[in-house]
Amino acid sequence: MSGVVYSRSDLSAPWGVDLPAMPDCVLFHVVTKGRVWLLVDDDEPRELRPGELSLVPHGEGHALADMPDTPRVDFFDLPVERIGPHYEVLRHGGGGEESTLICGAVRFEHPAARELVRHLPRTIHVETWSSPHADWMQSTLRLMASEVAERRPGGETVVTRLADILVIQAIRSWIRDNPTAHPGWLGALHDERIGPTILRVQREPAREWTVEELARTASMSRSAFAARFRELVGETPMQYVTRWRMHQAVTWLGEGDRTVAQVALQLGYQSEAAFSRAFQRVIGSTPGAVRRGARA
């Protein structure tokens, strides 16, 4: 997970802000003081108070305000104070009741994490006082509020790291509390036979996997394994292997320090052409185009 931007907002009623969409980012909001209303398109407005955090996992545009019907301004029309390359401070409002927010956008780079984010709901809300991890989550929020209020040296670094922890915990809470909402490989990880096999593929993408070898790792017959895998994951074992390799290739090509031929070899392809055909079939673009885009 890498932080794209973090922002501390000092707000006073009346205030309202329209936030832009940030594709491929998970957006989050942590209230450390006052109260805030979160408005995501047609969803019911939700009031957030200290001790609550919300995620907008798919980066869609949304709004924040002191009240649902308060007029709003575009985020880009507001002045911000740039503290560091990824940290800024926003001050806005009419001088009334005060609220403080820590907001941010993070991007998950690993293919497993990106696949997980794809399955997340439109919004995730965590009330720390009702969480099984209430003590340490509340302690984390108190420390974050203290760093925001006192502005000690290195405070922005502490706040961003704490925010990252809270984002991960919010996703964990969703996984724990929604056992029926785990489609595809995420749910299959809980299967005692298929789960370990998926992890082997993720850890060893370059291995020359076959359905027979995967079935042996699961201690199942080939036919039983193939049927069970497709039932749980929604695709055949070899389709999953190929798709996992291609998502890993996107990550490596995006880093910019490997050639297409090197990535192909590291993923077990003896032919760059065969790798390129598989990549374009799964990703919808050529490996060279992805690498050039990342370097640009």
Q: How does pLDDT run across 88-137, given as a tens digit for each residue?
A: 889 999 999 999 998 989 988 776 777 788 888 889 988 766 666 667 77
Question: What is the pTM for the complete model shown?
Answer: 0.72
Show me where the domains of the chain are located. Answer: 2-177, 184-295
Average pLDDT (214-231) is 94
Q: For domain 184-295, which architecture applies?
A: Orthogonal Bundle (1.10)
Task: Report pLDDT for 134.
Answer: 63
pLDDT of 231 higher than 80: yes
Which homologous superfamily is 2-177 in? Regulatory protein AraC (2.60.120.280)
pLDDT for 295: 62
pLDDT, one tens digit per residue, over 243-288 is: 999 988 988 888 878 899 999 999 999 899 999 999 999 988 899 8
pLDDT above 90 as % of the chain: 45
**Range scoring the smallest mean pLDDT among 18-32, 141-155, 234-248:** 141-155
Residue whose pair of structure tokens reads 């403080």 in the numeric block = 100
**The pLDDT value given to residue 180:** 58
Average pLDDT over residues 61-72: 96
pLDDT for the residue 21: 93
pLDDT at 212 over 80: yes
User: Average model confidence (pLDDT) for the chain?
Assistant: 86
The rounded percent of the chain whose pLDDT value lies above 70 is 93
